[in-house]
Amino acid sequence: MPIMKIRGGDLDLVEYDFKTFAPGEDLKTLGFEKNTYALKPKKGTVLVKAPARIHLTVLDMNRFAPDHPGGGGIGFAIRCYCTAEVSCIKKGVEIDYNRAVIVENFVAVFKKAVGYSGGFRIRVTDHEYKHVGLGSTSTVMIAVATALNEAVGSPLSNNQLRKLIGHNYVEETADGSIAFGFETGVGPAVSTHGGMAVMGDELTLIYHHSFAEKKNVYIIIPPTDISSAGTQEFDLLMNRARTLDYRDRELKAYLFMMDLIPALEEDNLQKIGNVIWEIEFRGSKRAEVEHHSFEIYHYMSRLREAGLEFVGMSSVGPSIAVVTALDRKHLEKILKPLGLKIAIGSGVDNNGLVITHKQ
């Protein structure tokens, strides 16, 4: 992999060696292995169903990088699911998933962290919407992590699992290796608890609350030839986005604390949508939207002008999330003149992870 340059300003230029490695080679157990856990491997299979996430914005891009999780942010869970099935076996690790290397790496982390010497049989099903802003990797990882933990007697807390994922968050490369990726902790937090979450730095969960319980969530994926993965994502997040967050991070934090959280407490979707719309033009979120050209702003502006309460691009896009009381038929009428279609019709998941056991 290439050495990437990070520029945050005229006097802020560093180089990041984008190293790749094999699963299990670089494990960060955060000192958890120093504790002694009373492991109780369970018979049968643990099934965990985890909702996907919409990641609305990072708070400050200057506070995270590959292999340095954090940065804060906000997002919410939607009724689009990944599942993980885990059984304890005597030895070895059997993985049924087309992205096995990212699971294999976390299994090695987990086993070392809790001192488990047995094996696992793992089957994963994801929502199949990759690199469009719905958090396929983070949703799969919290499902797998929770299932592993449950299968051996739940030695770690939800908070510990989220931090273990964040510090070992990887994406696969074209040659079958892995590399550290960007992780704020928003995805695992909302997948675990449901609703909307506000995250601080160091993967800290500041606040979570139910959100838009009786409203509809529609995901619209505009046509784009611009990549939101790999080196393109690195260049976007680590360069212009950092510069813009130097300028706007205080304002974004103010909007979170003084407007977004009170609006969530009031269940005021219109006010929440107004805050999100303001953030679309601020800091790193502006860089993410403009990465896909100003056409994304055009689409979102037209949707706002049509009276939709909540419109925002997820993560580095290009998915646009719409939360509204309107039904599918009404939204399709609004989208038709724009040449857009609904990719997913869903709602907010306010329950979070569902764990079941099969004998």
What the chain holds in terms of domains, given with CATH numbers, is 3-211+350-358 (3.30.230.10), 216-346 (3.30.70.890)
What's the pLDDT at 149?
A: 98
Cα 2 to the chain's mean position, in Å? 25
What's the pLDDT at 235?
A: 63
Task: Judge contact between 242 and 8, C-beta under 8 A.
Answer: yes
Long-range contacts of 244-250 (CB under 8 A, 24+ apart): 244/282, 244/283, 244/284, 244/286, 244/287, 245/58, 245/59, 245/60, 245/61, 245/62, 245/283, 245/284, 246/8, 246/9, 246/62, 247/283, 248/282, 248/283, 249/59, 249/60, 249/62, 249/283
Q: How far apart are CA 289 and CA 313, in angstroms?
A: 7
What's the pLDDT at 330?
A: 97
Torsion angle of C-alpha atoms 258, 260, 354, 38, degrees rounded to 10:
-20
Q: How far apart are CA 259 and CA 264, in angstroms?
A: 9
The structure's pTM equals 0.91
Is residue 215 packed enough to be buried (19+ CB in 10 Å), middle (13-18) or exposed (0-12)?
middle
Closest CA to 59 of 320, 212, 244: 244
Instruction: Characterize the bridge pairing of strands 93-96 and 12-17.
Output: unpaired
Cα 133 to the chain's mean position, in Å? 8
Closest CA to 97 of 59, 123, 66: 123
What's the pLDDT at 135?
A: 74
What's the pLDDT at 2?
A: 55
What's the pLDDT at 14?
A: 54
Task: Judge contact between 181 and 229, C-beta under 8 A.
Answer: no
For residue range 249-262, list pLDDT tens digits in order: 999 999 999 999 99
What's the pLDDT at 64?
A: 85
Q: Which residues of the chain have pLDDT under 50?
A: 8, 11
Closest CA to 77 of 58, 57, 50: 50
> 251 is written with which tokens?
């304002």
